[in-house]
Structure 1
């Protein structure tokens, strides 16, 4: 695996800055503010658009990648990647803590409605690599449990191809508390690494 760029942070912009964020070596350390989240309407009925995202702009097809470690303790503690157009059109993927375990979670929101898919990860999981590729009308989401293991497919989701202007970056939220701590070990945003999903 080619590691994500180790020091891209100064070229990125905050949407909803966290309680604290600082660079340590090549890593970015984040501590979340109180009860931020991203969700739109489905099942729960509420609308939240106040989670933390550090992002940069991108047009066309691309691959975003990050590796991160989180101190997951409370329900819905979450971190990973986000691809966003506006409050009604976005995708987030990564680890979310639910039912006492870390799950690989993907939420795709279009036309102001969110969906959610999740599956449990091994109990020892604290660090993970996540990759998301924009490929025409699709978002292809992958994860890697160790530094040189195989990339696994997590989701192939529709995303409107006519939406060209996107913000792409890392995200962290703690809908039930403040003080969730995450260490991001780099971030990269490149042309698609591959258009082959098999």
Structure 2
């Protein structure tokens, strides 16, 4: 969705490298009043309870350059988890849950030296679990959000990258893992 003009598979690292275009983002109304639905999104459709994981390396240049994981029902109902670059201060872990056309953004500082991070999103209707890891062994919760399945839709799940201000940065993804999980919520973190 919204294929970037510049993307490639690095021959040496085998990473997917995306260079987002100017003024790309996913955001709906809250606080800023604007609507953006033009980020770059590599996805597959996924039925039933599922989990997706990736490791992303951010090579940022401008405020809010971001990359991570995304689950989308439609333009008004989705969730994204990312590392976001801050030109002043520490980079942020960001989790946006958008329901019925309004985005709800939660953040926490991650440090200005952290530009590589792993994300894990688990979805058991109507709950989305968002975790991160610096070593892919120890996982830490960022957020648990309520995001009910939208009738007559199949979630699209995968990788995303955006450059809300100006193009120039790149995001490299080591892998994308997507698999079905049990609907037993007590096993999400097991």
TM-score where L is the length of structure 2: 0.90
Q: Which position in structure 1 is the counterpart of 2:187?
A: 195
1:34-183 alignment runs, 5 A limit: 34-98=22-86, 99-148=88-137, 150-163=138-151, 165-183=154-172
Shift of 1:147: 3.8
| CA distances 1:92-138 after superposition (whole Å, capped 9, x unpaired) | 10101234321110001010000100000033211100000001210
Shift of 1:152: 0.4
1:185 to 2:174 alignment: yes
Q: Which runs of 5+ in 1 are unaligned?
A: 1-14
- Greater mean alpha carbon deviation, residues 95-104 or residues 122-131: 95-104
CA contact (8 A) 2:61 2:168 kept: no
Runs of 4+ in 1 over 3 A off after TM superposition: 161-164
RMSD: 1.6
Matched residue count: 183
Shift of 1:30: 0.7
TM-score where L is the length of structure 1: 0.87
Q: Which SS does the other structure have where 1:115 is aligned?
A: strand
Q: Which runs of 5+ in 2 are unaligned?
A: none
CA distance in 2, matches of 1:37, 1:74: 13
CA contact (8 A) 1:108 1:115 kept: yes
CA distance in 1, matches of 2:89, 2:37: 25
CA contact (8 A) 2:73 2:150 kept: no
Q: Which SS does the other structure have where 2:82 is aligned?
A: strand
